[in-house]
Amino acid sequence: MEPYLVRRLSCRNVQLPPLAFRQLEQADLKSESENIPRPTSLPLKILPLIAITSADSSG
């Protein structure tokens, strides 16, 4: 069983999807990015509050 696993891991095509699938995926990403305008930076109206507390050493 080990030689089979080694042969399968050495094959580089296993991890890549088919070329047609990748092209369709890229076309979908392009059409989505054209239809939906996305801001490069989001305005923060409310700053996040970070509470800094001391560690409880009694426990």
The model's pLDDT over 1-56, given as tens digits with 9 standing for 90+, comes to: 555 555 555 555 455 667 777 777 776 666 655 666 666 777 777 777 888 888 77
Q: What is the pLDDT of residue 47?
A: 75
CA distances from 20 to 12, 27, 30, 33, 58 (A): 17, 11, 15, 20, 62
Q: Is the dihedral of CA 4, 11, 29, 27 positive or negative?
A: negative
Q: Domain residue spans in the chain? A: 2-35
Euclidean distance between CA atoms 26 and 18, whole angstroms: 13
Which residues make Cβ contacts (< 8 Å) with residue 25, sequence separation at least 6? 17
